[in-house]
Chain A
Amino acid sequence: ELQLAESGGGLVKPGGSLRLSCAASGFSFSLYTMNWVRQAPGRGLEWVSSISNVGTFIHYADSLKGRFTVSRDNAKNSLYLDMNSLRAEDTAVYYCAREMAELDAFDIWGQGTVVTISS
């Protein structure tokens, strides 16, 4: 079964840091571009970042202004998101998502991990 499973979310104070992980199974992880997408409470979806299959190409949403870093370890079938200088507006469910065939469409999603930024 094709699966993505996020972990690492939690409650963090403003200005703090957090590392999210996403474990992939059931498909050849190293062949796919992977993405992070977040959803603030009661809000819409917001694309966060993408990383190509071997990490050559990395892109971020302009709004993140260098605070987040995406990486992957194909040997471990894992995707990561390092988040620094966290703000209240970063509070959201963070999803990892597989991109299908470089079409900017996300065909496999994890269940999400909740990140809450609050003092």
Chain B
Amino acid sequence: QSALTQPPSASGSLGRSVTISCTGTSGDIGGYNLVSWYQQHSGKAPRLLIYEVTKRPSGVPDRFSASKSGNTASLTVSGLQPEDEADYFCSSYAGSSGVVFGGGTKLTVL
């Protein structure tokens, strides 16, 4: 069982928006502004989308945005494209426990 809780699946229509949640505790998400999000296409390595809750590395489209409120972080994908169909994982620094991940959300673009 993963430390952070994500919905197993999410879906959205082409061009629309979808938001994926990630729920932790005050010992991880709620306690630190060190939440990251990753995209993973089938059979590939993960790709960093978001770090420090809201920041995008260079090369990540601004269609990807994120936020945090209390113990829950969220990733929003706007203007859904076919290539956005993938698994999405959240992670957070968790103090002495290191880094914890969510179980992942499979995003389907309809």
Contact = CB atoms under 8 A, between A and B. Distances in A.
B26 to A, nearest CB: 17
13 contacts: A44-B101, A45-B38, A47-B101, A59-B98, A95-B45, A104-B34, A104-B36, A105-B91, A106-B38, A106-B48, A107-B48, A109-B45, A112-B45
Interface in B73-110: 89, 91-93, 97-104
Interface of A: 35, 37, 43-47, 50, 59-62, 95, 100, 103-107, 109-112
Contacts, number: 62
B46 A106 contact: yes
A43 B102 CA distance: 10
Contact of A104 (B57, B93, B103): B93
A112 B34 CA distance: 24
